Amino acid sequence: MKRVLFFTFVFFVASAVFSQTYSDVPDVLTVIHSRKSVRKFTEQQVSREQLETLVKAGMAAPTAVNKQPWAFIAIDDREILDQLAEQLGGNKNLMNACAAIVVCGDLQKAVESLPDYWVQDCSAATQNILLAAEGIGLGAVWMGVYPRDERIKAVSTVLNLPENFIPLNVIAIGYPTGVEKPKDKWKTENLFWNKYEIAK
């Protein structure tokens, strides 16, 4: 009996903690369909706690052979954001944003026989970050770096990245102004059931 009471107590405490943390986050399909690239931000600052929440979501992504071949550079220093913006050709998204996360593949941690999987692993992490940002009321935009050599060099130089870190993207982050809306991309012609068939 004592054991039952104990486990019931643990269950209620755990659900209370869980619901406190995530109670104000919309359900997963609402978040997925509300996500949009946000390039215009207000001046409201994003906290380190929020950035950590986003990186945590990134690290929850699946990876080939569970290698987690990544590193996340969270940036909230205005000077570094401006340097990055300048080196990326005067990137307006970064100039507007008050934070960014750079998702890097770490080739030292990649699957030896299939190192290219790092791109998929880091893309999965990136999408998790974008969805988490939407879920907690932030806006974000994925800006591609890899495989563009000039962007890889620019980002690596500003962030002092070691050779084994390849920046996949820079995600600009901030509070959305609300002007950007999600696009409807549902096209039945892109869905095939069971086998490919030429449309009649």
Ligand X SMILES: Cc1cc2nc3c(=O)[nH]c(=O)nc-3n(C[C@H](O)[C@H](O)[C@H](O)COP(=O)(O)O)c2cc1C
Residues found near ligand X in the complex (CB under 6 A)? 36-37, 39, 93, 141-144, 183
| Residue number, 13 or 38, with CB nearest to ligand X | 38
Residue nearest ligand X, CB atom distance:
144
How far apart are the C-alpha atoms of 106 and 138, rounded to whole Å?
27
Q: Is 146 helix (H, G, I), strand (E, B) or coil?
A: coil
Instruction: Let me know the angle formed at the C-alpha of 122 by 120 and 124, rounded to the nearest 5 degrees.
Output: 70
- Residues 2/138, Cβ–Cβ less than 8 Å: no
**Min dist. Cβ of residue 6 to ligand X (A):** 48
Structure tokens at 194: 């069971």
Pick from 68, 61, 96: which is nearest to 82 by CA? 96
| Residue number, 161 or 168, with CB nearest to ligand X | 168
| Residue number, 53 or 169, with CB nearest to ligand X | 169
| Residue number, 68 or 93, with CB nearest to ligand X | 93
| Residue number, 3 or 183, with CB nearest to ligand X | 183
**Min dist. Cβ of residue 127 to ligand X (A):** 9
- Residues 125/61, Cβ–Cβ less than 8 Å: yes
Q: Within 10 A of 81 (CB to CB), how many other CB atoms are there?
A: 22
**Min dist. Cβ of residue 49 to ligand X (A):** 25
**Min dist. Cβ of residue 40 to ligand X (A):** 11
**Min dist. Cβ of residue 182 to ligand X (A):** 6
Q: What does DSSP say about strands 70-75 and 165-174: parallel, antiparallel, or unpaired?
A: unpaired
Q: Within 10 A of 90 (CB to CB), how many other CB atoms are there?
A: 9
